[in-house]
Amino acid sequence: MELDERKIALAAAVFAVAGIALLFLLSETPREASIAEALVAPANSYLSLSGAAQNITADKFYLCQRELCISMKKGGLVSAQLVSDGSGLQVLGRVKEYKGSRYFEAESIEAK
């Protein structure tokens, strides 16, 4: 069976389009959520949370909306070092769980 150049080019184009479509389907965009939703979301959910920073330590802080808070791991982010008590933040990251406790692993932190 002999393949000519047109068939090879067509097959390559089909595989390229299929690969791009697969990458598009697998790409994730964060879902805007409240802290209450984050506390019950499945582990590894990619979310966007907003709130005020409280109880800041070297490696974590709490992001709060009203009286509801979730622990935030800074993850070595440079922007996390600039967070101060009471500052309004928009945080992108993933919900994690360790020994039954929920926390949020920040991938991006921006001041509001």
- Residue 47 located in a structural domain: yes
Higher-pLDDT residue of 69, 21: 69
Whether the pTM exceeds 0.95: the reply is no
Quick check: is 103 in a domain? yes
State the pLDDT at residue 26: 66
What's the total number of domains in the chain?
Answer: 1
Give residue for tokens 């990458």: 23
The average pLDDT across 6-34 equals 82
Q: Which residues are CB-neighbours of 64 under 8 A, at least 6 positions away?
A: 35, 51, 52, 53, 54
Residue 53 lies in a domain: yes
Residue 44 domain-assigned (yes or no): yes
Q: What confidence tier does 27 reach under pLDDT thresholds 50, 70, 90? A: low
Cα four-point dihedral sign 31, 36, 41, 46 = positive
The verdict on residue 20 lying in a domain is: no
Q: Which domain holds residue 53?
A: 31-111
The CATH number covering residue 39 comes to 2.40.50.140
| In a domain? residue 3 | no
- The reply to whether 6 falls in a domain is no
**Torsion angle, alpha carbons of 88, 93, 39, 45, to 10:** 150
Residue 18's pLDDT band, with cuts at 50, 70 and 90, is confident
The answer to whether residue 26 sits within a structural domain is no
DSSP structure class, residue 55: S
pLDDT at 53 over 90: yes
Mean pLDDT, residues 74-80 taken together:
77
